Structure 1
Amino acid sequence: QTPIAGAADEIDRLLTEADRDLLSTEGKGPVIRLVDAILFEALSRSASDVHIQPLDDRALVRYRLDGVLHTVRELPRTVTGAVVSRIKVMGRMDIAERRIPQDGRATVTIGPPARSASDDASGCRAVDLRISTLPTSYGERAVIRLLDNTQQLCDFDRIGMPSDVCEPFLE
């Protein structure tokens, strides 16, 4: 099973658990694990953003992949508020304030290990998150910008740009 498929199965399992037991105190709560799994799946897919978009009866989880938003799953309405609150806690935002936009930031450590200068001693890598929330008529919308310092920019050859076209950019 691929890491992405495994993460998707884990998210489905955690959605069921979070919907059933929002007050679990054993280890990490189901909502915390759900948000962690969503972030891990987004990073595994090389997403640049994660959007939590509330609707009247559910919320959409959308990843920005290559500049295009893709809906990857739906969250039940019963879990949506808790997920957005968890995201706000991560970004050190006021969870009681739901009427005004808020911005925050966080750094999370994830695995599997990547091989780069920004890796720490345990082999995991740090990913910066820029978090924004915005009130909507159906609840708060959250957007998480994923800034993975280990991602390398593609060079012109890898994206298929002819050398005569890329020369002015290199000067």
Structure 2
Amino acid sequence: MPTRTIPRRALVLTAAALAVLPAAALTAPARAATAPPAAAAATAGATAAAGSGPAAAAPVRFVGLPDSALPTDRAPHRITFSYRNDTPTDQTVAPQILVESPQRGPFLSTSDVRLELRGTDGRWHTVPLASQTGTLYTALIPAKIVLHSGHTLTESYRLTVLHGSARGTVEPRIAVYA
């Protein structure tokens, strides 16, 4: 009997998205609220929205941004990316960083890397990472913002590999909500 393999990345991302959502979130509309100052400052002209509690909704799609190899020299490396809302309406979006382990391992651990986000005060603030099946990722819900039509979201992160033997790929992306 033939077997079908599900790509690890698809499985991890589906499980991670479903793990943060209560059952009611799949039917309830998202509510707009006030966002953390760090997310609001990172966005020129964007208003923040929090997707917390039972009104949180899953993203409808992801926009992949250019990938890069995980640096292995233990020095801090900047990751800056931009996403422009070219649609005629406002979009609720959330930036996310994935650090993908090699397909055949060894799998990365949250203790292998440090990820920081440049805050409104100009200082670097550590961003917690979650891990599932060798993929490290940042949470989506706290990062949700409303990006107005024609505006651009620019995010600046700093990634440091703490163990020289860590290997993988850095994959920034944008989650787009309905």
Which protein is richer in helix relative to its size?
A: 1
TM-score under structure 2 length normalisation: 0.29
TM-score under structure 1 length normalisation: 0.30
- Higher-RCO chain (CA-CA 8 Å, sequence separation at least 6): 2
